[in-house]
Amino acid sequence: MSRKNKQPSPCNEQDLKRKCPETGSPVIIAISAKLVFTEQNMSPGPAFSFVKALKAVNAELREHYPESQELFKVILIDDNRSDELNKSIKKHRLITCDIISGEDLINKLKENNTHLYLSGSEEMVKEALKNEIAAAVMKTPEKMAEVSESELHIAFDGDAVLFSNESESVYASEGLEAFYKNEREKVNDPMKEGPFKGFLEVLLKLQRKLHDNCPIRTYLVTSRGGGCPGFRALNTLRDWGLEIDEAFCLGGSNKGPKLETIRPHVFFDDQDSHIKDALKFGIVGCHFDGSNLAGRM
Are 254 and 276 within 8 A, CB to CB? no
Distance CA 170, CA 193 (A): 16
Are 198 and 16 within 8 A, CB to CB? yes
Q: Which of 186, 263, 190, 179 is nearest to 221 (CA)?
A: 263
Q: Residue 96 burial (CB < 10 Å; 0-12/13-18/19+)? A: exposed
* Candidates 15, 83, 157, 245; catalytic one: 157
Are 145 and 282 within 8 A, CB to CB? yes
Are 96 and 89 within 8 A, CB to CB? yes
Are 196 and 161 within 8 A, CB to CB? yes
> What is 139-198 written as a DSSP string?
E--SSPPP--SSSEEEEE-TBTTTB-SHHHHHHHHH-HHHHHHHHHHTTTSPPPB-TTHH
Distance CA 59, CA 93 (A): 12
Can you name the residues that pair with 117 across neighbouring β-strands?
Answer: 30, 135
**Spatial CB neighbours of 91, under 8 Å, sequence gap ≥ 6:** none
Q: How many CA atoms lie within 13 A of 12 on its CB side?
A: 13
Strand 216-222 versus strand 152-156 pairing type: parallel
Q: Is 157 a catalytic residue?
A: yes
Residues belonging to the active site: 157
